Each structure stands twice: as structure tokens, then as C-alpha cells.
Amino acid sequence: MGRFVARRLLQMIPVFLGTTALIFFMVHVLPGDPVAAMWGDKAADPAQLAAKRHQLGLDQPLLQQYVTYMGHLLTGDFGTTMGQRKVIDVISAAMPVTVRLTLMAFGVEVVFGVLIGLFAGLRRGKAFDKGTLVITLLLISIPVPVLGFLFQTVFADQLKLVTPTVQDSMNFGQLLLPAVVLGSLSLAYVARLTRTSIVENVRADYMRTAVAKGLPRRRVIGTHLLRNSMIPVITFLGTDLGALMGGAIVTESIFNVKGVGNAMYHAINQSDGATVSGFVAVLVLVFLAASLIVDLLYAVLDPRIRYA
Amino acid sequence: MPDLIEKKKTEAVAVSAPEKPEKARSLGSDAWQELRRNPVFLLSAALILLLIVITIAPGLFTSVDPRAGDLRNHYLSKPSYGHLFQDDWFGYDGQGRSIYARVIYGARASIIVGTCVTAAVTVFGGLLGMLAGYFGGWVDTLLSRITDIFFGIPLLLGALVVLNAFTARTVWSVVFALVALGWTQMARVMRGSVITVKQADYVTAARALGAGTPRILFKHILPNAVAPVIVVATIALGGYIATEATLSFLGIGLQDPTISWGIDINSAQNVIRTAPHVLFFPAGMLSLTVLAFIMLGDAVRDALDPKLR
């Protein structure tokens, strides 16, 4: 187990370096000169431009810039934005909002997705199952911007249950609607995956054995069936956490949430390489951590899976 | 068990040539038999056919110029639902352009992006996945790590960065961005599928008969490993259409001379409370299109997966 974790952690290093390098180069080949943009519409003095470039290290070859950047990153220095703010400040202002939003969406998705999938799978072919299939299909088909406006109109404008946009980005009640919108697509996938998995496993031999042993229904379903059916769901959830944080950009723009998506959108528009790279580095770390946790959860869920 | 393997083999071999008549029905023709009787498949196929006709010949459905705005046609005036197929059927948008005409012409961008991205990621990702799965060893390690690197970037964020590099964005820049970041899923599915297939006896038999690597790869392994890829590709197609619309909605996808439902949804958001129909029609068409492709993918999966029979 320990060796497996160590090996996985080592494997993460090239992936982390590769992903950050990829984004770093992509951002830096963007057209538009961020240094010239600092002067606005005024024509800048070439000597001043060159001095500023030198000060920001933008006159060095790209590879050297990347190595310098990664060196700073290892010491926890994320650099400064084009507006001379510390990138770490921008990240620590936006990150808690998105983490909160994402975790709320994740919670909604896991709890409701698994429950709905479980009941639909146990009642295969019945009205609840068919209803679940139709509704999840609709949720998957409606693109997030459309769903956002739909929920905003119905729950905020018509029913007046919540405020249409978020004024205070750390307020749980106000984040609820965006979280539901953000999580709904994944909720549909989780419900469908759980349902398929339950349908496949409900007729398995170990289920018959468990029932024959006289175990109470709660235990048969809760321990034997659900635990064995969770593997594909966990696999999906592991990759989904990163996707949710990246996908929050749309939800954040509709509901005016000041989170990572919002900050990255502005950074990309300003060709602000340091900020974009910083955010991507953090997101990739989250993504890698989630996939490691998923691999470890496999062994917890299914003792037949062992890591030497 | 032996006859099960036997059955699987005959089924699998025939995937490559479903058109050949056989005594035992192949997986391909079996799937086709099942699909023909599936109302979900028929409905989604009809919808997709209609969308393809609209894509090729939008002029058949409307004679109005979707870019011609006449500010006398006010967006606050209600749609005239009685005027079927006329320019005021769905009302007008903020610039007095016919929403009906824009909804019709908007299909082209979505369908082109969806089909081209799917075709490209299937070929490119499928090829890489096949090589990684078949050769194993350092080829697999290298290709898998590259896949991991691209997989670690969230699709939407990566596409934002790539698309920002284009000053004039067309349908093809969106296709490029989505292919550049979307191929990993196909590579992973194909790799897994090839690893299962390459251990089969018929691959060993083919090699024993002296077949070369390309022949084994494309004649024996590919036909047997391609079914999961087809299923994932069909479902992903709807997802790519939704992603294009989302990017256009964020203002970083397609740009104005191109007509896209995503752009129209973006411009409708300012008038959503006073004139909801401006949002409703492009959003509805978009959802319907995505729905059609996802239903098709669902039906194809059910037909190709014998476990669900």
C-alpha cells in the first residue's frame, strides 16, 4: 500500500510538470503584448518597454522562463499578475469561493445521484426508473448556460425562493442555486451510472447468498450491493471534481460568483500568463489528488483489489 | 464457456463486415435488427436527419437573411405562432433579426463542430490508444503519460486558452481547440479495449499464420475493439455541440458573422426577463440537438452491448 502510494506520487511529477508546461507555453504564445497593454492607448517608449520586459523576465527564452517559474513555484512563490498583485493573493481570494461552490455541487451530485440511481436500479422498469431515465437524459442534454437561465427564471424570478444572482460569494444560501446548476449534469451521470451498476449487480451470486443467509434487507443493499456497485461511480467522481472546478466558469458568469472561473476568464483575456499558470497548477494538483484518492478507494470498496 | 467464446468470436469477426449475409447473425446485424425496432433510435435518427438537411440546405426552410436586421421588428413584440415557417414565427431578436431564420442557420455551426470534432478525436485518439494498447512497454508508458498530461487540463479552461490564441475565430478554430484537448477520452477507451482484445486466440492465430503488424492491427484487432469507441463517440458528439455553444456563450467561441446558437443565447441574456422567447428558441434547438445525439448514442450502446440484452 505504502509503496503503491509512493509510486503513484512519483508518477504524478511528470504529469504535473507536463500539464503546467503545456499551459505555460500555450498562454505565452498568445497574441497580444501584455507589456505594451500596460501603457494603454499611449505609445510606449521602446526603452521603457524593454526595461519592463526585462524586469518581468519576459525577454528570456520561453524554456528558461518556465524553469524560473517552476523554481519559484516550488518555494511557494506564484509570481505577480500584470496588475502587480501577488498571484497567490488572487488565488487565495478566488479559491475558497470555488472550493465551496464545487463541494456543494459535489455533495448534491453524490447524495442525490447515488440515491436516485439506487432506487431506480432496484425498481428496474417501474415508473420511477423510467422517470429517472427520462429526466437524467433531459439534464444531460440541456447545456449548462441554458440550464442556468432556466433555474434562475424558475426558482429566483418566478418562485422567488432565492436571489437570482450572488451578492456575497461566500453565502451558503446564495450559492445553493449555482451549486445545483453546476452539479446537475454530473448528478444525471452519477444517477445513470449507479442505476446501471445496481441493475448488473442485483442478480449477482453474492446477493443471493446474502439474502439466503438471512441478512436484513438494509444490510444486503447497503453493504453488499451498494459497495460493490460503487466502483464505476467512484471512477467518474474522481475525474469529475477537476471538471467541476473548471466548469464552474459558466455557472460563475451566470450567477456573478467571484471565483476561480471568473478570475481565470479575466486573466486569459489579459494574456496574464502568471495568473493563468498559477490557477492551472492548483487545479491540476486537485485533479491529481482526486485521482489518487479514487485509486485508494477502489481497494477500500473491493478488497479483491490489492496494491502491492 | 467454450461455446460462449465461440459465439463472441463469430460476433466479433463480423463487426467489420456487417453487410455480408451470414447464417448466424453477427453483432453488427443483430444490433441493426434491434435498433430498427427501437422507437428512441428511430426518433433520434429522424431528428438528426432533419438537422443534417437543415445544415446542408437552410434555404429550404426559410428565405429570410438571418443577418438582416430591421429595427422596426421589435424584440418585445410577441412571436406570431400562427405564421408557420415565416420570418416572424419565433419573433425577432434585439437587432430585429428573424429568430426563426437564425435558429435554422445556426444548426450548421453546431453540426459541423460536432461531427468534425468527433471524427477527428476518434481517428487521432483511437490511433494513439491502439498503438499504446498493442505495443505496451515504453510506447504505452510514453503515450499514456502524454494522455495524462492532456487529460489533466479541464476541457473548457484549456479550450479558452487555445481559442484566445486565434484573433479571428471560425468554426475550424473551435474544432481545433476541442480536438487538441478532447482526444484523450478516445485514446483511453481504445487502449483499454485493445488490451483486452490483443490477448484473444484469433490474434495469436493470425500472428502464427504470418500476418504482419499492420494487418493484425487493422484487420483483426481494430474491428473487434472499435465497438466501445463508437459508443463513446456517439454520446460525446452531443457533448461537443454543447461545449461549442458554451464557448460561444462565454464570448470566446464563434464570432459574430458566424451564426451560432451559443452566440444567440449570449446576446439573449440581457433581455431574458422582458423577452424570454429570444432565449427560448436557440436554447431549445440546442437542447433538442444535443438530446437527439445522446439518445442515438444510448440506443447504439444498448444494441451493441450484449450484457444488457
pLDDT attached to residue A227 = 84
pLDDT attached to residue B278 = 79
Arithmetic mean of pLDDT over chain A? 81
| C-alpha to C-alpha distance for A246 and A102, rounded to whole angstroms | 10
Question: What are the residues whose beta carbons fall under 8 Å from the beta carbon of B231, sequence distance 6 or more?
Answer: B297, B300, B301, B304, B305
Of A153, A247, A284, the CB nearest to B156: A247
Cell numbers linked to A24: 505555460
- More confident call, A83 vs A63: A63
228-247 of B, contacting A, C-beta below 8 A: 238, 242, 245-246
221-280 of A, contacting B, C-beta below 8 A: 239, 242-243, 245-247, 249-250, 253-254, 264-265, 268-269, 271, 276, 280
Cell numbers linked to A94: 478566488
Q: How confident is the model at residue B1 (pLDDT cuts 50, 70, 90)?
A: very low
For chain A, give the percent of residues with pLDDT over 70: 90
Q: Which of B306, B308, B295 is nearest to B38 (CA)?
A: B295
Cell numbers linked to B258: 458566424
Strand partners for A80: A86
**pTM over the 0.80 mark:** yes
- Say how many CB pairs under 8 Å bridge A and B: 123
| C-alpha to C-alpha distance for B67 and B260, rounded to whole angstroms | 12
Most confident of B18-27, B64-73, B262-271: B262-271
Residue of B142, B151, B155, B157 to mutate, testing the A interface (most A Cβ within 10 Å of its Cβ)? B157
pLDDT attached to residue B233 = 87
Grid-cell match 489579459, residue found: A270
| C-alpha to C-alpha distance for B279 and B260, rounded to whole angstroms | 13
What does the pLDDT average to over A7-28? Answer: 81
Task: HSE, CB side, 13 Å, CA atoms: give it for residue B70.
Answer: 9
Three-state DSSP state, B73: coil
What is the distance in angstroms between the CA of the first residue and the CA of the last residue of chain A? 6
Of A31, A245, A288, the CB nearest to B167: A31
pLDDT attached to residue B120 = 94
Cell numbers linked to A128: 420511477
The one-letter code for the residue type at A122 is L
Q: What is the CATH number of domain A87-301?
A: 1.10.3720.10
- A280 alpha-carbon distance from chain centroid: 12
- The answer to whether B221 and B198 are in contact (CB under 8 A) is yes
Cell numbers linked to B13: 469477426
- The answer to whether A259 and A169 are in contact (CB under 8 A) is yes
| C-alpha to C-alpha distance for A279 and A97, rounded to whole angstroms | 14
What residues does each domain of chain A span?
87-301
pLDDT attached to residue A112 = 92
Chain A partners of B250 at a C-beta cutoff of 8 Å?
A: 249-250, 253, 265
| C-alpha to C-alpha distance for B299 and B293, rounded to whole angstroms | 10
The DSSP secondary-structure symbol of B92 reads B
Q: How confident is the model at residue B179 (pLDDT cuts 50, 70, 90)?
A: very high
Cell numbers linked to B253: 467561441
| C-alpha to C-alpha distance for B289 and B110, rounded to whole angstroms | 9
pLDDT attached to residue B9 = 45
pLDDT attached to residue B128 = 92
- Residue B260, pLDDT above cutoff 80: yes
pLDDT attached to residue A226 = 86
pLDDT for A108-131, tens place per residue?
Answer: 999 999 999 999 988 888 888 889
- The answer to whether A278 and A117 are in contact (CB under 8 A) is no
| Rg of chain B over all Cα atoms, to the nearest angstrom | 23
Most confident of A41-55, B56-70, B82-96, B175-189: B175-189
| C-alpha to C-alpha distance for B309 and B306, rounded to whole angstroms | 5
- Residue A197, pLDDT above cutoff 80: yes
CB atoms within 10 A of CB A133: 16
What's the ipTM?
A: 0.79
| C-alpha to C-alpha distance for A13 and A217, rounded to whole angstroms | 46
Could you give the domains of chain B? 106-291 (1.10.3720.10)
- More confident call, A160 vs B250: B250
Grid-cell match 419573433, residue found: B91
What does the pLDDT average to over B100-117? Answer: 87
pLDDT attached to residue B118 = 93
| C-alpha to C-alpha distance for A274 and A279, rounded to whole angstroms | 9
Of A142, A271, A280, the CB nearest to B287: A142
pLDDT for B3-58, tens place per residue?
Answer: 444 444 444 444 444 455 545 666 677 778 878 888 888 888 898 998 888 888 87
| Rg of chain A over all Cα atoms, to the nearest angstrom | 24
| C-alpha to C-alpha distance for A91 and A71, rounded to whole angstroms | 19
Task: HSE, CB side, 13 Å, CA atoms: give it for residue A33.
Answer: 14
Three-state DSSP state, A86: strand
Q: How far is A44 from chain B (nearest CA, A)?
A: 23
- More confident call, A5 vs B288: B288
- Residue B250, pLDDT above cutoff 50: yes
The one-letter code for the residue type at A112 is F
Of B164, B238, B286, the CB nearest to A146: B286
Chain A partners of B149 at a C-beta cutoff of 8 Å?
A: 14-15, 18-19, 22
The one-letter code for the residue type at B147 is T
Q: Using N-to-C axis directions, what is the helix angle for A172-201 and A144-151, rounded to 10°? A: 120
